[in-house]
Amino acid sequence: MRILPLADPGTPDVRSPGRLLWWLARGQWPTLLGAMAFGIVWMLAQAVMPALVGKAIDEGVTARDASALAAWAGALAAVGLVQTGAGVMRHRFSVTNWLTAAYRVVQLVTRRATHVGAGLPQRVATGEVVSVGSSDLPNFGNVMDVAGRAAGAVVSFVVVAAILLHTSQTLGLVVLIGVPVLLFAIGPLLRPLQVRTLSQREMTGRLNSQATDIVGGLRVLRGIGGEDVFHDQYARESQRVRAAGVRVGRMQALLDALQILLPGVLVVLVVWLGARLAVAGAISPGELVAFYGYAAFLVVPLRTATEFANKLIRALVAARRFCSVWAVEPAITDPAGPMPLPPAGALFDRESGLVVTPGLLTAVVAAAPDHAARIADRLGRYVDGDVTYGGVPLDAATRTQVRRRILVSDASSTVFSGPLRHAVDPWGTADEPTLADALTAASGDDVLESLPQGWDTVVEERGRSLSGGQRQRVVLARALVADPDVLVLVEPTSAVDAHTEARIAATLAERRRGRTTVVTTSSPLLLDRVDEVALVVDGRVVATGTHHDLLRTDARYRHAVTRDDEAAELEGVG
């Protein structure tokens, strides 16, 4: 049995949905073969039971031979034990197959999301990724689960058909021809079912995306009074998804009904023919009972075959969605021959002209905050840009190297659910005094004091149990615990009050003394503590100096920091 999650889920074959499923199957072939082997034994044990019952009737009951009856009863008991043992083992292997496929898909989706990185939400709807990793998940497991029973169904059908042909060519041909005919009769329903399932799956993905947007922006919606509008939109979309689910359910119900009706017709036909042969003396009473048992048994492999086809269709639909997510490539890729980054050095963004001196706390003040945010993205190599670190272009190094050297933390960074200590230290490498020191530097002592279980208090998803200011300080503490060579903070105090901002300004300057730090902000309290300020206008650095020097000499800077429109007009902006 495998240990889950897998150490390496591998690289999937996404050239087509079918190739993906085949790749998943090859990746767990030992347990698949085990399930198939025990599935064959399990169904063959069921298949031979009617023959044993027939022999017991003919040689024991009809012949009044107690010893023969006892012998055949013992054989039945032995076969029953074999069937039970094989059934248990088949189920164990099938569960393992389900879990292995499911975990592999989850790991692959997570790996792809990590590989694509911050650009994933712009390339694929969040709800689509959630759907692949949740609602599609059972479909991958189900097709692997049913594989063992499907193999047993095929082998047992061949064995039973051979037994029937050997006993009566008429009945054997009826079964041998009738079962495939029934499968072909059900086949035309599978294509419409696939189409309807795919349509429902796409609608569900869009609905999940809409729900994610609503939950994420609920506070904003309430602020503008738009929650009712979006609620109505979500309700209408939900009804469309429900209607699509009903259409799938109707087709599925028809398929399930035919799986019972058509095999039942076959059983009636076989029993009727067998009864006529028994009356004519062509077969014995025991053989008649055996034929009835075979006909009843054949319902099982027939339903298993249609179940396999049904689950295969659903798995192909899920695989198609997985392939679409996997096809998303990151906007930023690693070079073919990466260069190592130096241990330290100046950061230079050629597009804006910003130079970040090593070991200093540098502030970037922009007349348009978006310009500062784009600079931060280029410094962290989240978007393409001509940026060097110690003279080495960032795009010449791998993203992993860049992330190890440069950490970008913005105000919208997510606080993950779990204990507070994990929210501040997701790597699990810092001791409690280090965590406390970082939280103090982020002026977050009151956050810890307000939680009933301290560091072990569970923070809800996306930090819902914290206020906006508390979340921002937890994010800042997390960045400080990481202690990167270069720390880029985007508006780190936008959600806190002036007193808290003043404390953060003082402790941040002390905490990062001697380390390279960049802060995008227009807060005078932070700017008063930095070593150097760069003023950005229209995406370019137009002035550098200390906060007080720029306040005194540059009206554009005063306008950006104090919003002094009159001063800006007098001295001219730009």
Confidence band, pLDDT 50/70/90 cuts, at residue 89:
very high
DSSP 8-class letter at 341: P
- Which strand (E) or helix (H) includes residue 253? helix 227-279
Q: Which pLDDT belongs to residue 217?
A: 56
Six token digits for residue 359: 């070991």
Instruction: Name the more confident of 480 and 218.
Output: 480
Q: What is the mean pLDDT of residues 404-427?
A: 84
Mean pLDDT score across all residues of the chain: 83
* Residues 334-380: tens digit of each pLDDT: 888 899 999 889 999 999 999 999 999 999 999 888 899 999 999 99
List of domains in the chain: 17-326 (1.20.1560.10), 347-571 (3.40.50.300)
Q: Which pLDDT belongs to residue 201?
A: 65
Confidence band, pLDDT 50/70/90 cuts, at residue 571:
very low
Residue 478 makes CB contacts below 8 A (sequence gap 6+) with 409, 413, 423, 424, 425, 426, 438
Ramachandran angles phi, psi of 256, nearest 5°:
-65, -40
Confidence band, pLDDT 50/70/90 cuts, at residue 419:
confident
In this predicted structure, the answer to whether residue 564 has a pLDDT above a threshold of 60 is: no
Spell out a b/e string for 83-118, using b for 16 or more CB atoms within 10 Å of the CB, else e: beebbebbbebbebbbbbbbbbbbbbbebbbeebee
In this predicted structure, the answer to whether residue 32 has a pLDDT above a threshold of 90 is: yes
DSSP calls for 313-332: HHHHHHHHHHHHHHTPPPSS
User: Do the beta carbons of residue 306 and residue 183 sit within 8 Å?
Assistant: yes
Q: What is the mean pLDDT of residues 386-401?
A: 92
In this predicted structure, the answer to whether residue 242 has a pLDDT above a threshold of 70 is: yes
In this predicted structure, the answer to whether residue 279 has a pLDDT above a threshold of 60 is: yes
In this predicted structure, the answer to whether residue 267 has a pLDDT above a threshold of 80 is: no
User: Do the beta carbons of residue 77 and residue 192 sit within 8 Å?
Assistant: no
* Residues 129-184: tens digit of each pLDDT: 666 666 788 889 999 999 989 999 888 888 887 887 887 777 778 777 777 777 67
DSSP calls for 457-514: PEEPGGGTTS-HHHHHHHHHHHHHHH--SEEEEESTTTTS-HHHHHHHHHHHHHHTTT
What residue type is 490 in one-letter code? V
Kindly give the interhelix angle for 169-186 and 227-279, rounded to the nearest 10 degrees: 170
* Residues 188-224: tens digit of each pLDDT: 766 777 677 767 766 776 676 666 665 655 555 455 5
Q: Which pLDDT belongs to residue 282?
A: 80
Q: Which pLDDT belongs to residue 188?
A: 74
Q: What is the mean pLDDT of residues 310-333?
A: 84
Q: Which pLDDT belongs to residue 48?
A: 86
The total number of residues shown for the chain amounts to 574
What residue type is 459 in one-letter code? V
The runs of H, that is alpha helices, within 284-361 are 285-326
